[in-house]
Amino acid sequence: METETTATEKQIAANRQNSQKSTGPKTPEGRASSKMNALKHGIRSRHVLVHGRNLCEDEEEFIAFQDRFHDELDPVGPMEEMLVDTIVATQWRLYRVLKAESGEIALSVDKGSGRPAPDDSLVNEYILWGQVPDPVGMMMKSAKGIAVLIVNLSKAREVFEKDGKLTKKAVDEALTAGKPNGYSLKLAALQTRLEKNPGKLPRRELLATHRQEVRDYLDKETERLKEKYLDADEREEIDEESRQAAKTLPPMETLERIMRYEAKLERQLYRAMAHLERLQCMRRGVAIPPPLKVEPAEKL
């Protein structure tokens, strides 16, 4: 009775002899024909690719992708071609997983972005500013609020220069959400001083002094607000970058679903690669390696 080792050696020798009769296509024409056979008998691109209204994967790109694998793995016969096609389809789906993960991260970051300020958001801000006695303190906490104060003071200065003196209209331009604030109150005080003329100055001298005082105040405050705006804008940009960095992972439920799907594809890929290797070893008369259990690395 022959031992199992002797039988195995005979089988290997027979496989080696048989492999000389079927070594696969050698000419360019034969290899081209083999590729077409793979397309005919393997997994068809139309079954692998996504063809939808908003997403349509490139068939030519997939066929070129498939050809590279067939050139590298050189399958012979329908069984090997099927396994190579399985490897191709699985790897294509793994690439799609990466795209899906990138897309989820992009959506997460976009949803968490607070920098763009639509008009309705500014309306909401005005409502909040109108609910406090003096909104300047609240407005100073955001670049958007400081920008509104700068615009208001600029309008007040334009009216002041046009009228030649500080009028109620100029004072009203400094209001916020229709309510007095620190700036409008200061301008109102300057207007009252002009009307009372406590120093009993001649009218022309009083107007000149008054105009210079108002100009100095408006210009000084506008420059100060511009500096604060730059600081606030830089601070908010840093805060936004931090928020976006915190959003560079998809929601946990989505992330877990992606990871489970990716792990499943990797197991399928490794099984197909191991099976193909064993078939090709048998065909070529090479000793078949023991099964190698390769599991995808655990995702953190």
- Report DSSP letters for 85-104, one per residue: HHHHHHHHHHHHHHHHHHHH
**Domain annotation covers residue 298:** no
Q: Which residue has the higher pLDDT, 171 or 25?
A: 171
Residues 256 and 241 in one domain: no
Q: What is the structure's pLDDT at 140? A: 93
For residue 15, is it within any domain?
yes
- Residue 108 amino acid letter: S
| pLDDT value at residue 42 | 40
Residue 143 is assigned to a structural domain of this protein: yes
Residues 238 and 140 in one domain: yes
Q: Are residues 103 and 176 in the same domain?
A: no
Nearest CA-CA partner of 168 in 149, 196, 198, 190: 190
| Same domain assignment for residues 48 and 148 | no
Q: What is the band of 293 on the pLDDT scale with cuts at 50, 70, 90?
A: low
Distance CA 205, CA 18 (A): 117
* 206 vs 216: CA distance, rounded Å: 15
Q: Are 150 and 176 within one domain? A: yes
Q: Are residues 130 and 241 in the same domain?
A: yes
Residues contacting 232, CB < 8 A, separation 6+: 140, 141, 142, 143, 146
Give the pLDDT band (50/70/90) at residue 41: very low
In a domain? residue 290: no
Q: Which residues contact 288 (CB under 8 A, 6 or more apart)?
A: 278, 281, 282
Query: In a 10 Å sphere around its CB, with 0-12 CB exposed, 13-18 middle and 19+ buried, how is residue 193 labelled?
Result: middle
Which residues form the domain of 154? Answer: 119-246
Indicate whether 138 and 155 sit together in one domain: yes
Does residue 80 sit in the same domain as residue 162? no
Q: What is the pLDDT of residue 249?
A: 67
Check whether residue 72 and residue 147 sit in a common domain: no
Classify residue 296: in a domain, yes or no: no
> Per mean pLDDT, which of 44-48, 61-65, 103-107 is the most reliable?
61-65
Do the domain assignments include residue 292? no
Q: Comparing 173 with 294, which gets the higher pLDDT?
A: 173
Q: What is the pLDDT of residues 158-188, one digit of tens each?
A: 999 998 888 899 999 999 888 889 999 999 9
Specify whether 70 is located in the same domain as 128. Answer: no
Looking at the structure, do residues 125 and 239 belong to the same domain, yes or no? yes
In a domain, 168, yes or no: yes
pLDDT in tens, 125-148: 888 888 888 999 999 999 999 999
- Residue 84 main-chain phi, psi, to 5 deg: -65, -40
Region 67-88: what's the mean pLDDT? 91
The count of domains in the chain is 2
Q: Classify residue 56 by its DSSP letter.
A: B
